Amino acid sequence: MTAPAGDHVSASDEPVQPVRVLVADDDADIRDLVEFKLAQAGYAVEAVADGASAWESFEAHPPQLVVLDVMMPGLSGIDVLRKIRESEHPGVPVLLLSAKSRDSDVDTGFAVGADDYVIKPFSPRELLHRVNGMLARAR
Amino acid sequence: MLTFSAQLLVGATIAVLGTCLVLVIVVIAVRMHRQGRQKRDEMLLAPLRGPLITVASGEDDDGAATEQLTWATGVTRDVLDAAIVDLLTKIRGLPAEQLVGVLTAHGAVDRAKADLHHRSLVRRAKAAQMLGLAGGPDAVPLLVGALGDSTVQVRNSAAWGLGLIGDASAAGAVLAATGGEQGGIPASTSAETLQSMGVGISDVLATAFDDGDARTRMVAAHVTGDRSFTRGLPALRRLLADDPDLTVRETCATAIGRLGRAEDVTVLARHVAVDEPLSLRRACAAALGELGEAGAVPVLATLLDDADPRLAEIAASGLLGLGADGRAALAGREDTAPVRAARTVAELQRASA
């Protein structure tokens, strides 16, 4: 297993809350395995199945990082990303996870404000490395 | 007493209503059967869902979850194999290899090899999909053989599988199937498959430029441009000039726009002349814009007054993308239809990004 990245102990040895990650994907397989992978790495993961729930969760309790599927029913990942960038917490790192692999799709993701873009099929291990890196840079 | 025609009308109405009723019952029965089967599958899979996600996420360090999946038997094994095949389209890397190991232990990969010759086209197509996902050294020749299947579904599935494996040694067979008998595989499938095979296909592409089938030459030109195989530039220029098929020439122009050099301004400019086919003139004008060379500015500027409004608009779009020189060429023409249209398109593209 990868070394925990969601620190549970601060430099002063005082317990701190684990890093919260919001995962939104309408595919139960992807949702479950990303949730499991990140939870195993020490993150506190909330997984939802659509864009509207993702936005609702983000507004209610902004996470430290968001993993968004692009193609979801109702609000797409791009729609949610736009809302995040216009919200009171525009700086939350967002990783888009999508089967849309054309250059124009990736361009759109970054143009709207994604911090990273991972194409499906993806390596769960690589996804974790990217999440760790994004959070490290955000600190 | 009803007349004969009235009786006929009543009879026909009853027959139509009866048929509708039967169809509704059939649809409901099929849906119930599917739902029942789906629920059964979910129940069978439920105890294995945890181990499956553990393996798929790459967290099965001690191999216990993989072993648990391997021991599945009977209908549960079949349902699990279908779930694994579905997962293999979503993940890659070591977890995918471990899941393929489970399929192999279940005998699913061996069954797929045999199923490539099954009389059911669904079984053959699924077998090709399975072999593509499972990969392995003997999958490539089997899938190459399936490119010659009698149905396009199986041929497409085989090409898709070869794209997943990404072995460049199959590139020649894919190109040959593009122009093959019985319809072969669609050009788009062929191109997509070849694009997954990396840089090792450039030699095969080079020979495909001289193929007798126009679709094969078109795919070669498209992939050459898309993958930026600059070695193919001389062939692209040659086919642009003298290929007997117009679509091939247009594809070559687009490819040159993507990977061409400063000297290709002259090559493309030759084919925007009024005596060339309109679709080729448009393709070359777009390629001149895509090329990004300042030398294209005067050529595109002359097209702003072309009789074809679409060509004039393409030229204006190209000039907008060519920096200060391009924008200078549009000076004084801001109110013309082509420039207005090009600006609107550019703004819409920016807004949608």
pLDDT tens sequence across B87-146:
999 999 999 999 999 999 999 999 999 999 999 999 999 999 999 999 877 899 999 999
B202 within some domain: no
CB contact under 8 A, A27 and B56: no
Say yes or no for a CB contact (<8 Å) between B53 and A1: no
Distance, CA of B119 to CA of B121 (rounded, Å): 6
Q: What share of chain B is helix, strand, coil (3-state, %, to 5)?
A: 75, 0, 20
Contact B93 A36 (CB under 8 A): no
Chain B contact for A113 (CB, 8 A cutoff):
no
Closest by CA to B318, choosing from B350, B286, B294, is B286
ipTM confidence: 0.86
- Residues A75-109 have pLDDT tens digits of 999 999 999 999 999 999 999 999 988 888 899 99
> Is B50 part of any domain?
no
A26 to A50, A52, B114, B149: CA distances (angstroms): 6, 11, 35, 35
Asked if the structure places residue B165 within a domain, the reply is yes
Interface test with B, best of A29, A82, A103 (most B CBs within 10 A): A29
* Any domain includes B87: no
Structure tokens at B74: 């009977």
pLDDT of the residue at B173:
94
pLDDT at A1 over 50: no
pLDDT over 60 (residue A12): no
Does the residue B171 lie in any domain?
yes
Nearest chain B Cα distance for residue A16, angstroms: 25
Cα(B221)–Cα(B248) distance, integer angstroms: 7
* B245 domain residue, yes or no: no
The domain of B131 spans 103-197
**Are B195 and B223 within 8 A, CB to CB?**
yes
Q: Does B53 touch chain A (CB under 8 A)?
A: yes
Number of independent structural domains in chain B: 1
Whether residue B119 lies within 8 A of chain A, CB to CB, comes out as no
Q: The domain spanning residue B112 has which CATH number?
A: 1.25.10.10
Tokens of A136: 């490290």
Per CB-CB distance under 8 Å, the chain B contacts of A120 are: 90-91
A118 touches chain B (CB under 8 A): no
User: Chain B: nearest CA to A64, how far in angstroms?
Assistant: 22
Give pLDDT, residue A8.
45
On chain A, the residues whose CB falls within 8 A of the CB of B94 are 123, 125
| Interchain CB distance below 8 Å, A123 and B92 | yes
- Per-residue burial over B6-41, b if 16 or more Cβ lie within 10 Å, else e, is eeeeeeeeeeeeeeeeeeeeeeeeeeeeeeeeeeeb
Residue pLDDT tens, chain B, 353 long: 568 888 889 999 999 999 999 999 999 999 999 999 989 999 999 999 999 999 999 999 999 999 999 999 999 999 999 999 999 999 999 999 999 999 999 999 999 999 999 999 999 999 999 999 998 778 999 999 999 999 999 999 999 999 999 999 999 999 999 876 566 899 999 999 999 998 889 889 999 999 999 999 999 999 999 988 999 999 999 999 999 999 999 999 999 999 999 999 999 999 999 999 999 999 999 999 999 999 999 999 999 989 999 999 999 999 999 989 988 888 888 888 888 888 888 888 777 65
Q: Report if residue B145 sits inside a domain.
A: yes
In a domain, B156, yes or no: yes
Residues 40-99 on A with a CB inside 8 Å of B are 40
Contact B55, B87 (CB under 8 A): no
